[in-house]
Amino acid sequence: MKTVPSFFQKDGFFFTQGKPLLVWILCAALLTGMIYAPYLQSLSLFLLSILAVLSWDTSRFFPLRINPALIPSGKSFFHRPDFWVIALYFILVLAGGLYAQDMGYWLSRLRIKLPFLAIPFVFFLLPSLKERPYLRLWYFLLVLLSLTSLGILVNYLRHFEEVNLLIKQGQPVPMPCNHIRYSLLQTMGVAGGLFLLEKRFALRFRWETYVIAALTLWLIIAQHLIAVRSGLVVLYALLAFSAARYLWRTRRWLTGAVLLAALASGPVLAYQLAPSFRNKVGYMRYDLDMYFKGQDKGVLSDASRLISWKIGWDLFRRSPWIGVGPGNLRKEVEAIYATEYPHMEKRLMPHNQFLSVMAGSGAIGLAFFLTAFFVPLFYRKHYLHFPFLALHATACLSFIVEATLENAMGVAFFLFFLVLGLNHLNAKPQECRTVHIGGGTFSRAE
């Protein structure tokens, strides 16, 4: 009779600790890949998918097999609208294929949206991250971003004059990945730091709370030093909400007033003390001044963004119900540039996620898009979970100034934190207990 090694028995290390540990390691690798190595991000998602779909059974001659819970879990998946509704992001573009003329562009849009179809099911199958591993992952992100921001600052100081000249020309501070995505990731790091402080988390020592507070403060300062405007807007919205939430929960009016005063003085101090921030403000004023005087030749950042908004709105008005088609959007945008803005050198697609959806899929598409966005947030009051609410606030504000979900990096950022939160909140009833966050309750795995 073949004996199953205790390591692989259902109450052995692999099933009780090993598999959840692998999930944690791969999630940490994915976060690292978002900043430093896109291939690591892709590899981590692939291995997470393998971990979800396959299982190990040593009672069989060939122990590796398809997870027997795959079909039952698939049935349960469709009873969880907070998970399956995410596929609407993909289906919206898929439906646009019915009237796509530029098939190459449509297929590229479809490929970018493909993770919205597969990854939610993967994280539904994976073991839910319990409270402490979940908090450790936020701790890891906080440390990772703090070290990365320190490296960015050191490089900035070493090339002080050159970097400031780049900023005056509308270029970002050099960093390991796309500056907009990094600034949004850094805002999520601040949200994670605040969440860890709220939970009074420490790996081992009580004094780690002060370390977490210091790292969170450093990320706030670093956000001003890298001076990415969309990231700063989202950061201040997050901090204002957090201060108001703290004030509402504690009724410490004096402390709340001090926090709000600190928020109001933040941009003023940054303008006085941070050359990168001051130069960014100067460039923005110059950019907008040139645009409203009609002297811009289509090479400046803000002017190009405003024109892209106008083009998106014009396309929506042309076909308000179903749009011009996600696959036809590039062709239609280029046609407007050619006829109305032939002088434009910097030609952007609509730099607003909502306008991009409206132009491509019309009001009907926007309704499906908003459904996919808000159902996970409000289902079972998930908005009471602070990081989950912070993600949706961050994404929603970024959608106003960027087409965040129209590139692979933006999709990876939004989708990972979305399914991570759902995975943590998706504990089976017998494995849950109620915890209180922000005046509300939610269930989490034990």
Write a three-state SS string for the chain: CCCCCHHHCCCCHHHHHHHHHHHHHHHHHHHHHHHCCHHHHHHHHHHHHHHHHEEECCCCCCCEEECCCHHHHHHHHCCCHHHHHHHHHHHHHHHHHHHCCCHHHHHHHHHHHCHHHHHHHHHHHCCCCCHHHHHHHHHHHHHHHHHHHHHHHHHHHHCHHHHHHHHHCCCCCCCCCCHHHHHHHHHHHHHHHHHHHHHCCCCCCCCHHHHHHHHHHHHHHHHHHHCCHHHHHHHHHHHHHHHHHHHHHHCCHHHHHHHHHHHHHHHHHHHHHCHHHHHHHHHHHHHHHHHHCCCCCCCCHHHHHHHHHHHHHHHHHHCCCCCCCCCCHHHHHHHHHHHHCCCCCCCCCCCCHHHHHHHHHHHHHHHHHHHHHHHHHHHHHHHHCHHHHHHHHHHHHHHHHCCHHHCHHHHHHHHHHHHHHHHHHCCCHHHEEEEEECCEEEEEEC
pLDDT at 76 over 70: yes
Q: Domain range holding 17?
A: 1-68
Q: Out of 290-304, 401-415, 423-437, which region has the weakest mean confidence (pLDDT)? A: 423-437
Q: What is the pLDDT averaged over residues 372-395?
A: 97
pLDDT at 341 over 60: yes
The answer to whether residue 304 sits within a structural domain is no
pLDDT at 302 over 50: yes
Nearest to 416 by CA among 22, 32, 139: 32
Q: State how beta strands 432-437 and 64-66 pair.
A: unpaired
pLDDT at 229 over 80: yes
> Contact at 8 Å (CB) between 126 and 423?
yes
- Residue 59's pLDDT is 64
The answer to whether residue 11 sits within a structural domain is yes
What is the separation of C-alpha 306 from the centre of its chain, rounded to a whole number of angstroms?
24
**Please, what's the b/e burial string for 157-177 (b: 16 or more CB within 10 A of its CB; e: otherwise)?**
eeeeeebbebbeebebbebeb
- Residue 423's pLDDT is 97
**Span 108-150, pLDDT tens digits:** 999 999 999 999 999 999 999 999 999 999 999 999 999 999 9
What does the block give as tokens for 94?
A: 């898929």
Q: What is the pLDDT averaged over residues 100-111?
A: 93
- Model confidence band, residue 57 (pLDDT cutoffs 50, 70, 90): low
Q: Which residues pair with 65 in a beta bridge?
A: 55
- Residue 287's pLDDT is 66
- Residue 71's pLDDT is 81
- Residue 18's pLDDT is 75
- Residue 119's pLDDT is 97
- Model confidence band, residue 299 (pLDDT cutoffs 50, 70, 90): low
pLDDT at 156 over 70: yes
Are 100 and 152 contained in the same domain? no
CB-based burial label for 274 (10 Å; 0-12, 13-18, 19+)? middle
Share of residues in the chain with pLDDT > 70 (%): 87
Q: Out of 273-282, 311-320, 344-353, which region has the weakest mean confidence (pLDDT)? A: 273-282
CA distance 399 to 357: 11
Are 138 and 285 contained in the same domain? yes
Q: What is the pLDDT averaged over residues 261-273?
A: 86
Are 83 and 36 contained in the same domain? no
pLDDT at 32 over 80: yes
pTM: 0.89
Q: Which residue has the tokens 């994404």?
A: 395
- Residue 58's pLDDT is 62
Are 248 and 230 contained in the same domain? yes
- Residue 410's pLDDT is 95
- Residue 62's pLDDT is 67
Cα of first residue to Cα of last residue in the chain, in angstroms, is 36
pLDDT at 444 over 50: no
Higher pLDDT among residues 100 and 136, named by residue: 136
Are 273 and 380 contained in the same domain? no
pLDDT at 333 over 70: yes
Q: What is the pLDDT averaged over residues 90-113?
A: 94
pLDDT at 427 over 80: no
Q: Domain boundary residue among 18, 51, 68?
A: 68
Q: Domain boundary residue among 68, 96, 114?
A: 68
Q: What is the pLDDT averaged over residues 74-90?
A: 94
Number of structural domains, the chain? 3
Distances (CA, A) of 20 to 189, 419, 428: 22, 15, 15
- Residue 94's pLDDT is 96
The answer to whether residue 87 sits within a structural domain is yes
Are 119 and 171 contained in the same domain? no
Are 171 and 278 contained in the same domain? yes
Q: Which residues pair with 435 in a beta bridge?
A: 442
Are 119 and 172 contained in the same domain? no
Share of residues in the chain with pLDDT > 90 (%): 62
> Cβ of 345: how many Cβ atoms within 10 Å?
10
Are 283 and 329 contained in the same domain? no
Are 284 and 398 contained in the same domain? no
Are 59 and 83 contained in the same domain? no
- Residue 390's pLDDT is 96
CA distance 184 to 353: 15
The answer to whether residue 303 sits within a structural domain is no
- Model confidence band, residue 298 (pLDDT cutoffs 50, 70, 90): low
- Model confidence band, residue 442 (pLDDT cutoffs 50, 70, 90): very low
CA distance 170 to 280: 7
pLDDT at 74 over 70: yes
Q: Domain boundary residue among 267, 295, 323?
A: 295
The answer to whether residue 300 sits within a structural domain is no
Distances (CA, A) of 21 to 180, 193, 230: 31, 22, 35
**Span 236-258, pLDDT tens digits:** 999 999 988 888 888 888 887 88
Are 52 and 120 contained in the same domain? no
> Contact at 8 Å (CB) between 12 and 6?
yes
The answer to whether residue 302 sits within a structural domain is no
Nearest to 230 by CA among 346, 109, 352, 344: 352
